[in-house]
């Protein structure tokens, strides 16, 4: 009995040590794309009693639009930075200019670090729970892409403000790259405005019951089950929005093909934003002393600001290197 009590005490201490980190994801384009890849995302989502889910054509559009978005973001940042490097000369700046650079670098980190961490949380959650995603590789790519874009944006801001020879230039460069880095938030808000009236969701308990029943049907793949449970035949091609919003003539319309007539963005807008919450074990963050130091005790915005001093001093070498390869 004593051994059992000791074992229970050790287990209780272990459970206290392994806590869960609660992450409330923002409704940006990265999050909507990533959430749509989850197997259970659209389970229990319906409009006019017709279940909503992504079709193979929707998945293809999802991948295509996201790749175009990421490519456009990186290309735009590259072209802006290239133009600045090739057409401007480096100005070492006086003490007020260097202080302005440090302040802007600190602000840039404060603004964009949250976006970077959200990308990391998506990547980490997908890595820990690959069975929850229809296409694990693409879900990982979404998280990695968000981290890459934010990293490139921060580096570009630092290079831009170091090249500025007038006080307005570092501020304008900071604003330009920050807007680009946060462009996904604007796209996410725009997509959510496409939400169709009448979307209904199952309660959390009801949704879990449906998912458990699907998992019990082990003779079929999860995705195929979900698809077969909701599959509907293609019929009319009339305007979907008119069919949903015109309540007076509601009985005149056929909703049998509702899911197939909905656009990808209308389905993304139907994602239950209340469920965009991740629970990640923080064991990885606190089981080693150096990770505790990195995540708890270092203010990285101050580090980013202080990095502007050596960056400003080394900028002539960096500038010559970049000019050589960007010509």
Q: Residue 121: which residues within 8 A CB-CB, separation 6 or more?
A: 23, 25, 143, 278, 280
Q: Would you tell me how many other CB atoms lie within 10 Å of the CB of residue 276?
A: 17
- pLDDT of 1 > 50? The answer is no
Q: What is the mean pLDDT of the chain?
A: 75
Dihedral angle over CA of 185, 189, 194, 197, nearest 10: 140
Tens of pLDDT, residue by residue over 123-139, are 988 988 888 898 899 99
- pLDDT of 282 > 90? The answer is no
Residues 2-6: what's their mean pLDDT? 46
Q: Would you tell me how many other CB atoms lie within 10 Å of the CB of residue 290?
A: 7
Tens of pLDDT, residue by residue over 297-315, are 777 778 878 888 887 777 7
| Phi, psi (rounded to 5 degrees) for 257 | -105, 30
pLDDT interval class at 287 (50, 70, 90): low
- pLDDT of 290 > 80? The answer is no
Strongest mean pLDDT among 25-29, 86-90, 96-100, 153-157: 25-29
pLDDT interval class at 215 (50, 70, 90): low
pLDDT of 16 reads 44
Dist CA 42 CA 199 (whole Å): 11
Q: Residue 172: which residues within 8 A CB-CB, separation 6 or more?
A: none
Strongest mean pLDDT among 143-152, 248-257, 274-283: 143-152
Q: Write out the E strands in 130-225.
A: 199-201
Q: Would you tell me how many other CB atoms lie within 10 Å of the CB of residue 81?
A: 21
Buried residues in 24-63 as b, exposed as e (16+ CB within 10 A): ebbbbbbbbbbbbbbbbbbbbbbbeeebbbbbeebbebbe
pLDDT of 148 reads 93
Dist CA 107 CA 142 (whole Å): 25
Of 283 and 175, the one with more pLDDT: 175
Q: Would you tell me how many other CB atoms lie within 10 Å of the CB of residue 70?
A: 20
**DSSP-based three-state secondary structure for 200:** strand
The DSSP bridge pattern shows strands 50-51 and 45-47 to be antiparallel
In the structure encoding, which two tokens stand for residue 306, read together?
A: 């202080």
pLDDT interval class at 276 (50, 70, 90): confident
pLDDT of 65 reads 94
In this structure, what DSSP letter does residue 40 have? T
Backbone dihedral region of 263: left (phi > 0), alpha (psi from -120 to 50 degrees) or beta? beta
Q: Tell which residue, 163, 166, 167, 143, has the closest CA to residue 155.
A: 163
Report in angstroms the alpha-carbon separations of 188 from 154, 275, 293.
21, 16, 34
Residues 239-252: what's their mean pLDDT? 48
Of 129 and 246, the one with more pLDDT: 129
pLDDT interval class at 52 (50, 70, 90): confident
């Amino acid at each position: 009995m004593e051994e059992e009590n000791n074992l229970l005490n050790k287990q209780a201490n272990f459970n206290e040590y392994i806590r869960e980190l609660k992450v409330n994801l923002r409704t940006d384009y990265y999050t909507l794309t990533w959430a749509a890849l989850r197997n259970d995302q659209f389970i229990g989502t319906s409009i006019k009693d017709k279940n909503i889910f992504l079709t193979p054509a929707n998945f293809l559009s999802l991948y295509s639009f996201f790749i175009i978005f990421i490519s456009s973001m990186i290309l735009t940042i590259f072209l802006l930075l290239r133009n600045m490097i090739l057409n401007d000369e480096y100005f070492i700046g006086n003490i007020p200019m260097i202080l302005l650079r440090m302040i802007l670098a600190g602000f840039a980190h404060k603004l964009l670090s949250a976006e970077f961490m959200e990308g990391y949380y998506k990547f980490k959650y997908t890595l820990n729970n690959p069975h929850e995603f229809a296409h694990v590789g693409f879900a990982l790519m979404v998280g990695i892409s968000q981290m890459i874009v934010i990293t490139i944006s921060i580096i570009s801001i630092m290079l831009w403000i170091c090249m500025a020879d007038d006080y307005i230039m570092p501020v304008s460069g900071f604003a330009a790259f920050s807007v680009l880095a946060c462009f996904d938030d604007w796209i996410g808000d725009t997509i959510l405005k496409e939400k169709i009236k009448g979307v209904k969701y199952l309660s959390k308990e009801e949704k879990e019951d449906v998912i458990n029943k699907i998992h019990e049907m082990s003779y079929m793949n999860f995705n195929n089950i979900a698809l077969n449970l909701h599959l509907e035949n293609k019929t009319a091609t009339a305007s979907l929005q008119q069919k949903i919003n015109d309540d007076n003539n509601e009985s005149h319309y056929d909703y049998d093909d509702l899911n197939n007539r909905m656009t990808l963005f209308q389905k993304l807008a139907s994602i239950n934003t209340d469920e965009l919450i991740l629970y990640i074990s923080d064991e990885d963050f606190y089981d080693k002393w150096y990770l505790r130091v990195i995540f708890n005790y270092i203010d990285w915005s101050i580090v980013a600001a202080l990095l502007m001093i050596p960056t400003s001093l080394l900028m002539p070498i960096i500038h010559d290197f970049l000019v050589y390869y960007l010509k």
